[in-house]
Amino acid sequence: MAEEPERNLEIIDGFARDVAAGDREADLITAELSRECLDSARRTLPVLQNRRFADPQLCD
């Protein structure tokens, strides 16, 4: 019998830090995420300041 592939059961925050992780037997994991952490990540990460793409233009 083939071995079941490893499952990736993690929840990460806006700074890519592990907030919660589940084991192979877990069907569901939960975590509380902070809106302040997400907002801070969006302000802090330099990639979000280098927007090189224009807003999409829809055809008529």
pLDDT in tens, 13-27: 888 888 888 877 778
**Can you give the pLDDT at residue 22?**
82
- The CA distance from 59 to 39, in Å, is 33
Nearest C-alpha neighbor of 21 from the set 10, 5, 35: 10
The residue among 31 and 4 whose pLDDT is bigger is 31
Q: Give pTM, 2 decimals.
A: 0.52
Range 7-17 average pLDDT: 81
- The CA distance from 14 to 34, in Å, is 9
- The CA distance from 29 to 23, in Å, is 9
